[in-house]
Amino acid sequence: MPRIDADLKLDFKDVLLRPKRSSLKSRAEVDLERTFTFRNSKQTYSGIPIIVANMDTVGTFEMAAVMSQHSMFTAIHKHYSLDDWKLFATNHPECLQHVAVSSGSGQNDLEKMTSVLKAVPQVKFICLDVANGYSEHFVEFVKLVRAKFPEHTIMAGNVVTGEMVEELILSGADIIKVGVGPGSVCTTRTKTGVGYPQLSAVIECADSAHGLQGHIISVSLCPGWGAGADFVMLGGMFSGHTECAGEVIERNGRKLKLFYGMSSDTAMKKHAGGVAEYRASEGKTVEVPYKGDVENTILDILGGLRSTCTYVGAAKLKELSRRATFIRVTQQHNTVFS
Is residue 283 marked as binding?
yes
Is residue 185 marked as binding?
no
Active site residue 188: yes
Is residue 309 marked as binding?
yes
Is residue 280 marked as binding?
yes
| 74: number of Cβ within 10 Å | 29
Report helix, strand or coil for 62.
helix
Q: How far apart are CA 269 and CA 135, in angstroms?
A: 25
Listed as own residue / partner, the contacts of 181-185 with beta carbons closer than 8 Å and 24 or more positions apart are: 182/11, 182/219, 182/220, 183/53, 183/219, 183/235, 183/236, 183/261, 184/235, 184/236, 185/235, 185/236, 185/259, 185/260, 185/261, 185/264, 185/283, 185/284, 185/285, 185/286
Is residue 124 marked as binding?
no
Is residue 180 marked as binding?
yes
Q: How far apart are CA 110 and CA 115, in angstroms?
A: 9
Find the angle CA(230)-CA(95)-CA(297) to the nearest 5 degrees.
65
Is residue 279 marked as binding?
yes
Diameter of the chain measured on Cα atoms = 59
Is residue 78 marked as binding?
yes
Is residue 272 marked as binding?
no
Is residue 310 marked as binding?
yes
Is residue 21 marked as binding?
no
Q: How far apart are CA 257 and CA 287, in angstroms?
A: 6
Active site residue 186: yes
Cα of 220 vs its chain's centroid, Å: 9
Q: How far apart are CA 249 and CA 57, in angstroms?
A: 14
Is residue 74 marked as binding?
no
Is residue 26 marked as binding?
yes
Is residue 278 marked as binding?
yes
Is residue 157 marked as binding?
no
Is residue 335 marked as binding?
no
- Active-site entry in 57, 74, 153, 188: 188
| 272: number of Cβ within 10 Å | 10
Is residue 262 marked as binding?
yes
CA distances from 36 to 33, 175, 221, 326 (A): 10, 11, 18, 25
Is residue 311 marked as binding?
no
> Which element (helix H / strand E) includes 107?
helix 107-119
β-pair partners for 54: none
Cα of 302 vs its chain's centroid, Å: 16
Is residue 129 marked as binding?
yes
- Active-site entry in 57, 60, 153, 186: 186
Report helix, strand or coil for 289.
strand
| Binding-site residues for K(+) | 181, 183, 186, 189
| Binding-site residues | 26-27, 78, 129-131, 180-181, 183, 186, 189, 235-236, 261-263, 278-283, 307-310
- The catalytic site residues sit at 186, 188
| Binding-site residues for NADP(+) | 26-27, 78, 129-131, 180-181, 262, 278-279, 307-310
| Binding-site residues for GMP | 235-236, 261-263, 279-283
